[in-house]
A and B are shown apart, each in its own frame.
Chain A
Amino acid sequence: MAMLEVKDIYKAYGNVEVLKGVSFTMEKEETKVIIGPSGTGKSTLLRCINQLSLPNKGQVWLDGEEITNPKTNINKIREKIGFVFQDFNLFNHLTALRNVSIGLEKVKRIEKEAAQTRAMQELTRVGLEAQASQYPAQLSGGQKQRVGIARALAMDPDVILFDEPTSALDPELIGDVLDVMKSLAGKVAMLVVTHEMGFARNVADEIIFMEGGVIVEQGPPKEMFTNAKLARTREFLGRIGALYGEEETGG
């Protein structure tokens, strides 16, 4: 049984259908990258997985538990699903350290000192031990996002959802964040919405190409980049590759 199973998810905002039946599965410690044009429902899909948005139809299963069942305690489930936001969403009134430890303290009810020790380990893991006592407003974008990743990691999640984690960053800061994400590959499952084709190609176990609210094609990066079945996939990868500086996009 797959760790995460997404079954036939539909989501509409008013008359606008954003997701029109999306299904896929993820295994433990697997990295999947979702790519596709803007407005395709990639971010909505992530939000439907941890129920920040409620899907109109379909099911999401994590570790054999149906998340979409209204009887499920969604707060318990969300502890196991990390979420990294495009615009960071750090808690502005807390230091970097407390941003990472607050979930441990208030949700997992770990004693404050132990929680902060653990938080410090996660900050070290993302290379920010020196910034522990700084507030979000005092950090650069790249540092903020790494705190966001540390915050998700501290909860020991089964899977972390990344919603365009580098889109709000200056180009020279993107590398630091991607390096941290690379270092997590194979240690925790990651589902990443991104336009970073280099990351997709080198780190992903599988790439999912979405357009118009459905999955158009999915497969291992090598296959997708060199030998995509559909013309539409090849065209998109070619265009996005040129835009983001991938030298050879195949197809």
Chain B
Amino acid sequence: MALETLIESLPSLFDGLLITLLLTAFGILLGTTLGIVLATGRSYASRPLAYLILIYEKVLRGIPLLVLFFLIYFGLPQIGINFNALTAAVLGLGLRSSAYQAQIYRGAINSIPEGQIHAAYSLGMNKLKAIRHVIMPQMLRLSIPGWSNEFTILLKDTSLAFGIGVIELMRQGRYIQVRDPDLVLVVFLLIALIFFLLVFTANKILRYVEKKYQMAGYQTEAHR
């Protein structure tokens, strides 16, 4: 009986997994794009703009994700801004991630010697070209380890979207639990395993990417 229910429920878990992956993909896309823009802005834009970005980062890093979800999904409609649950979740995940990612990219930018910018200027590059051709490629390479970390955090935090009614993996698990409370341990162990495998695979892939795009001479060697 219980096993039957479990097998019947597997397709719904798969649907949930797809939504989880969707949230992760769009969340990280938004977070990365915005994070790069914010970090570049904080390092190279004018004072007032850099300051605004700083405030944005501080605020978004200071709010729990669930609170952010509730603000976007339940709060904003009060002032006439409506998002469906999925969009609200992507926004919440992406905006928060952008604040953390901005930190990662800014750290990377700061670790590039200032002389590189001077060298770029000396060749006749303007600021935009110097950022694009000299700073950006190095920044992205240096950011891969930090970005990998942020990616796995975001992947796992998609489960919080269950709180605003997104039918992702966690919510599907909850449905199964309601149908057959005896399955609760098995189902959530299964969900835990799915998350674990996703994170494990992602880390493997990202480690490969990190190695592939490493700047020669900047790899970490094994020492005794």
Contact = CB atoms under 8 A, between A and B. Distances in A.
Given A52-B118, A83-B119, A137 B124 contact: no
B133 A135 contact: no
Chain B contact residues, majority secondary structure:
helix
B123 A103 contact: yes
Interface in A81-118: 81-83, 85, 87, 89-93, 102-103, 106-108
A167 interface: no
Interface stretch (B68-76, B176-184, B196-204, B214-222): B214-222
Contact of B121 (A52, A91, A134, A136): A52
Given A78-B124, A92-B138, A137 B216 contact: yes
A137 B221 CA distance: 14
B115 interface: yes
A89 B125 contact: no
B84 interface: no
A88 B129 CA distance: 20
Interface centre among A82, A90, A93, A107 (most CB of B within 10 A): A93
Contact of B133 (A52, A92, A106): A106
Contacts of A52: 118, 121-122
A135 B122 contact: no
A32 to B, nearest CB: 19
A176 interface: no
Contacts, number: 75
B113 A102 contact: no
B149 interface: no
B82 interface: no
Contact of A137 (B115, B120, B133, B218): B218
B217 A136 contact: yes
Given A102-B133, A106-B133, A135 B123 contact: no
Interface residues of A, number: 30
Contacts of B113: 87, 89
A137 B129 contact: no
Contact of B122 (A83, A90, A102, A108): A83
B216 A138 contact: yes
A246 B101 CA distance: 56
A244 to B, nearest CB: 25
B134 interface: yes
Given A107-B125, A135-B215, A138-B216, 18 more contacts: A52-B122, A75-B125, A75-B126, A78-B121, A78-B123, A79-B123, A79-B124, A82-B122, A85-B118, A89-B116, A92-B116, A92-B138, A92-B215, A93-B215, A102-B123, A102-B133, A135-B217, A155-B123
23 contacts: A52-B121, A78-B121, A81-B122, A82-B122, A83-B118, A85-B119, A89-B113, A89-B115, A89-B118, A91-B134, A91-B138, A92-B215, A92-B218, A93-B137, A93-B138, A93-B215, A102-B123, A103-B123, A106-B133, A107-B124, A135-B216, A136-B217, A137-B217
